[in-house]
Amino acid sequence: MLSPLGILKGTLQSQFGGRLAAAMPQILTIKSLIAKGAGANSTLSALKAAGMGYRRKVFLSDYAFLKGVTQREGRQKYTRKDRYPDPESYIPEIGSYQDKFRHVIEVNATNKKTGETITSHLSVTTSRRLERKEIEAAADDLLEDDSYFGFRTDYTDYTANLSTCYENESYY
């Protein structure tokens, strides 16, 4: 059975990989500043003032990890339509679906009769990575199929936006 220190080391190893030993001074400094309530910008400034250089993108990832923030949720809405979602932003999961990737689409629509606005989620699974516009086009096709959702007959002004991407770890 692993000790709490062993579990912590394994968790840190998963985030920092081969740079764990070299990053330990930064990790300790970041953890102490987080405990004092320091934000990301002030923490990065303190590290730079102490002579511990850090690339901002890597620092923000490490800071969020050490603070315990889930980082990947909802980041896909900032992906350009003609680009593939960042592979690092895919959340690993053990899925019961047949395909390698699952893309969650957030659908906003207005009911024609009541004027009520709803938010719903739709999953599109694929065996290969797709550009954001391809994922959202697949969602539009599903929404326009009356037998599938009935959105076209009951709702108007619907929008489909990519929300979150998952990668099936059990895919073979």
Domain ranges of the chain: 4-67, 75-168
Band of residue 134 on the pLDDT scale cut at 50, 70, 90: very high
Residue 8: is its pLDDT beyond 60? Answer: no
Residue 136: is its pLDDT beyond 70? Answer: yes
Convert the pLDDT of each residue in 27-77 to its tens digit. Answer: 788 888 888 888 888 888 988 888 887 778 778 877 877 776 655 566 677
Short-list 38, 37, 62, CA closest to 49: 38
Amino acid 17 reads G
Distance between CA atoms of residues 110 and 148, nearest Å: 18
pLDDT score of 47: 86
Residue 11: is its pLDDT beyond 90? Answer: no
Print burial letters for 88-104: b (CB count within 10 Å at least 16), e (below 16): ebbeeeebeeeebbbbb
HSE of 153 in the Cβ direction (CA atoms, 13 Å)?
6
Name 168's Cβ contacts closer than 8 Å, sequence gap at least 6.
93, 94, 95, 97, 99, 100, 101, 102
Q: Is 91 or 85 the better-scoring residue by pLDDT?
A: 85
Distance between CA atoms of residues 138 and 92, nearest Å: 22
Amino acid 58 reads V
